[in-house]
Each structure stands twice: as structure tokens, then as C-alpha cells.
Amino acid sequence: MDLLPIGELARRAGLSVKTVRFYADRGLVPPTTRTAAGHRLYDAAALDRLELVRTLRDLGLDLATIHRIVTRQVSLTEVAALHAEALAVQIQALRVRQAILTRVARHGTAPEEMDMTHRLATMAGDERRALIAAFLDHALDGVPEGVRTTMTPVLPDDPSPEQVEAWIELALLATDPGFRDRLRSAVAPYAVPPTSPPRPDPAALVRRAVAPALAAGLDPRSPEAAAVPLPEVDLDRLETVLDPDRDRYLELLAIINGWPAPEPLAPALAWALARYSATASSR
């Protein structure tokens, strides 16, 4: 390739002459030679070097670092590894910001609630574990350890914005005294000594019984619904377990832990309670 004047070099690299001159003056792309009149000329190697400088700038590297690379003071591999690591930190910070702003936009968070939302989103791992431990200690007191494990969120080291947003909402639930007390009442029957025989779960029995009617969209007070056999259970117990917040906690838990979405319990229990009520009214 013939030697190129600075204007042609800039055109081929897709840069302005001013930018190329700026890089040249800082030793990033020095001219190969000069004309008798002092005009800069560049060869093919200079064009390759200029394109490398442009690429590195596009990737966010500063001029001092680029100078060290093109002058062989440091390897591109070393710099790439360091910047990739730094970008990973920045990307995670942006994900957290995105999750916070998405929640604010979606739920209309008041300005005074922003501090709590930000604090929950940026908690360190040990802080998250302590928050959940305190919640489960209260809500699942006496319940077998296996149940506690299935109720424990573990936010990954590199969570998605959806997982961060789910964590914020779950943490707000976990710090809600009303929800903690309701969950404690719902799981209290399972807090039995290890030697006791397992107790049947009335909520699970009811959900299985009403699943076909619920899927078919039957009105629980309709004549067709009256033909659906329901188990004999403690209705007060069903009302205690019926809590949409519990379903939401489990849904958020699945998002955070990367588990399949759980089947909500509240719709089946609400349908069954309406059916029990209709049956009692008809007697």
C-alpha cells in the first residue's frame, strides 16, 4: 500500500482528521514519515494501529492504557482480562439500578420508600442471609429443617434484573410482621416432633379435589360445582392457609432460585371455601 496522507488515513479508518491528529500527537499513531513540506504520511501498519486504537477506545479504554498496549508495555490479553472484570462489576451495578427503577415504575414507589428499596437491592450476601434467617426463625419455628430449605432464597452472584427485583419484593414480604405471623399460623400444624406420623395436608387434598373444576372455569356456586366431591377438612384451617402473599413469596422464591414456577394455592382454596359456603347455605 502506498503511503497515505492523514486525510486518506482518517477516511479509511472512519475517523475525523482532527481525531487522527490528536492520536498522533499523543504517540498512539505516529506518522510513518513526512513529506519535504512536513506533512504526515502513514503506511499499512499505521492504519492497522489506528483501527486498533479506535476499537480500544470504543471498548472504553483510556488513552494512557491504549498507549501502553500499542507500545508493547503491557499485553492486550492482560488489559482485556482486567477490563472484562471491571465491566462485569459495572454491568451488575447497572442490573441492580435497572431492577430498582423497574420496581419504582411498576409499583409507584413513594420517594420515602426509595431508600429501603435501594438498601435491599444492594445488600451484601451475609446481610441477605441474616434477614431471611430472622424471618424463617419466626415463621417456621419448630417446622422440620427440610421445609426451611425449600423456603430459603439464594440470590446468585450474577443475578438478572428480574431476580434482583424479585429479591426486593420477597425481602419486603419477609420484613412484614403481618405476613410473618400469618405464615407462622399456616405452618404451625407441621411443627411436630420428628417421631410423630406425618399429618395430611388439607390444603393439598383440597387443591387436588378442585383442580379439574377450577381448570374448567366452573362457578363454585353453580349446580355443576355441587357435583364435585370435596374432602372433609377444617375450614378454619383452610382460611388460615389461604394467603395470596404466601403464593407470591413462593413465586418470587422460584424466580430467585431459578426453580420452575409453582402452582398457586390461593385460587383453589378460595374456590373450595366458596363451594363449602354454597353447600352450607343450601341446607
Segments making up each domain of the chain, as ranges: 4-72, 75-199, 201-283
**Residues paired with residue 34 on neighbouring β-strands, in sequence order:** 40
Choose the most confident range, by mean pLDDT, from 148-162, 247-261, 267-281. Answer: 247-261
> So what's the pLDDT on residue 7?
92
Instruction: Among 26-30, 115-119, 174-178, name the one with the lowest average pLDDT.
Output: 115-119
CB atoms within 10 A of CB 8: 15
- C-alpha distances (whole Å) from 14 to each of 7, 24, 39, 129, 189 are 10, 16, 20, 52, 72
In this prediction, residues 15-43 reach a mean pLDDT of 91
Rounded to whole angstroms, how far apart are CA atoms 255 and 249? Answer: 10
Note the pLDDT tens digit of each residue in 223-267.
Answer: 999 889 999 888 888 898 999 999 999 999 999 999 999 999 999
Task: With cut-offs at 50, 70 and 90, classify the pLDDT of residue 197.
Answer: low
Cβ neighbours for 47, distance < 8 A, ≥ 6 positions apart:
1, 4, 9, 12, 13
Decide if domain 4-72 falls under CATH 1.10.1660.10.
yes
Q: What is the value of pTM for the model shown?
A: 0.69
Note the pLDDT tens digit of each residue in 47-64.
Answer: 988 898 888 888 888 899
The fraction of the chain above a pLDDT of 70, given in percent, is 94
**Position 146 pLDDT exceeds 90:** no
- Mean of per-residue pLDDT scores for the chain: 88
Note the pLDDT tens digit of each residue in 64-115.
Answer: 998 888 888 888 888 888 778 778 878 888 888 888 788 778 777 677 677 7
> So what's the pLDDT on residue 85?
79
> So what's the pLDDT on residue 89?
77
Following DSSP, what letter does each residue of the chain receive, concatenated? ---EEHHHHHHHHT--HHHHHHHHHTTSS--SEE-TT--EEE-HHHHHHHHHHHHHHHTT--HHHHHHHHTTSS-HHHHHHHHHHHHHHHHHHHHHHHHHHHHHHHHT--GGGHHHHHHHHT--HHHHHHHHHHHHHHHTTTS-HHHHHHT-----SS--HHHHHHHHHHHHHHT-HHHHHHHHHHHGGG---TTSPPPP-HHHHHHHHHHHHHHTT--TTSHHHHTS------HHHHHHH--HHHHHHHHHHHHHHTPPPPPPSHHHHHHHHHHHHHHHHT-
In this prediction, residues 130-146 reach a mean pLDDT of 90
**Position 195 pLDDT exceeds 60:** no
**Position 194 pLDDT exceeds 60:** no
In this prediction, residues 7-27 reach a mean pLDDT of 92
**Position 23 pLDDT exceeds 60:** yes
**Position 157 pLDDT exceeds 80:** yes
Rounded to whole angstroms, how far apart are CA atoms 237 and 246? Answer: 15
Q: Which residue has better confidence, 182 or 94? A: 182
